Amino acid sequence: MFQLYYTALKSIWIKEITRFMRIWVQTLVPPVITMTLYFIIFGNLIGSRVGEMHGFNYMQFIVPGLIMMSVITNAYSNVASSFYGTKFQRNIEELLVAPVPTHIIIAGYVGGGVARAIITGTLVTLISLFFVPLHIHSWWMIIITLLLTAIVFSLAGLLNAVFARTFDDISLIPTFVLTPLTYLGGVFYSITLLPDFWQWVSKINPIVYMVSGFRYGFLGINDVPFLLSVGILVIFVIVLYVINWRLIESGKGLRS
């Protein structure tokens, strides 16, 4: 039975990775180009005027946030588009009737989203080396935050795909929810610069904890305690996983 489940999981993983690698010009190149523009505009041009932030030059300060931004958008979009495509082509029915647990289906699609997020994050990190030297405070903190964030947004993308009725529904959440939360999540500034009230408001934004934890792994500075960031991420993983499991198990939004 274990071998059967492992084969099913590996098959979904391979399918997902093959899918985005086959069209790598559309899936991997655009985020790298976008982040390069951010490095040039915000880092070189504006950063020279901003000066230092918490003892680091502005370019060094924003690099972790920009890497995290690429991880978030790619993990989310990969699973959302892939799972909805499976629904649209009616291939989801084959998965639902196959002797494969819902946990395997979720893990397979999330694994694909995490793989794309890691590859994109690595590419953006390599591009950043052309602008600033690599500064690492703690590798394990970077890895933990990266993996948990990729899992959270892969699960969020899966949830979006379950409820989506058209391809347009896939783009609504990234446009009207993810983008504003990301820009207000401390990618380009430290929330400690804000008045007390707006610091409190900012801490309602979950992306603040992800960016803060990731930046702590690189630079050793944070806006919120690292353990709190990890705790928030773990809670989101559990909640989103349970919701997705219940929805897929019941067939809501999947069965005609």
pLDDT tens across 149-176, in order?
Answer: 999 999 999 999 988 888 778 888 888 8
Q: Is residue 255 part of a domain?
A: no
The pLDDT value given to residue 57: 86
User: What domain count does the chain have?
Assistant: 1
Q: Give the CA radius of gyration of the chain.
A: 19
Closest of 151, 147, 148, 140 to residue 217, by C-alpha = 140
The pLDDT value given to residue 1: 67
Q: Please state, in angstroms and rounded to a whole number, the distance separating the CA atoms of residues 205 and 224.
A: 12
Looking at beta carbons, which pairs linking 98-102 to residues 24 or more positions away fall under 8 Å?
A: 98/8, 99/4, 100/5, 100/8, 101/5, 102/245, 102/248, 102/249
Residue-wise pLDDT for 103-131, tens only, equals 999 999 999 999 999 999 999 999 999 88
Q: Is residue 113 part of a domain?
A: yes
Q: Is residue 52 part of a domain?
A: yes
What average pLDDT does this structure show over 143-152?
96
Confidence of residue 91 (pLDDT cuts 50, 70, 90): confident
Beta carbons of 9 and 17 less than 8 angstroms apart: no
Q: Is residue 178 part of a domain?
A: yes
Residue 189: domain span: 2-250
- Residue 1, classified by CB atoms within 10 Å of its CB into exposed (0-12), middle (13-18) or buried (19+), is exposed
Q: Is residue 105 part of a domain?
A: yes
How many CB atoms neighbour CB 157 within 10 A?
30
- Quote the DSSP letter at residue 195: -
Residue-wise pLDDT for 46-77, tens only, equals 777 777 777 888 888 999 999 999 999 999 99
Q: Using alpha carbons only, give the angle 10, 162, 32 rounded to the nearest 5 degrees.
A: 65
Q: Please state, in angstroms and rounded to a whole number, the distance separating the CA atoms of residues 223 and 214.
A: 11
Q: Is residue 256 part of a domain?
A: no
Residue with tokens 């198990």: 249
The pLDDT value given to residue 253: 65
The pLDDT value given to residue 173: 83
Q: Please state, in angstroms and rounded to a whole number, the distance separating the CA atoms of residues 34 and 249.
A: 38
Q: Please state, in angstroms and rounded to a whole number, the distance separating the CA atoms of residues 177 and 120.
A: 21
How many CB atoms neighbour CB 211 within 10 A?
31
Confidence of residue 255 (pLDDT cuts 50, 70, 90): low
Closest of 162, 137, 82, 90 to residue 114, by C-alpha = 82
What are the b/e assignments for 42-52, b being 16+ CB within 10 Å? bbeeebeebee
Q: Is residue 79 part of a domain?
A: yes
Query: Which of 46-50, 178-182, 197-201 has the least mean pLDDT?
Result: 46-50
Residue-wise pLDDT for 2-41, tens only, equals 777 888 888 899 999 999 999 999 999 999 999 889 888 8
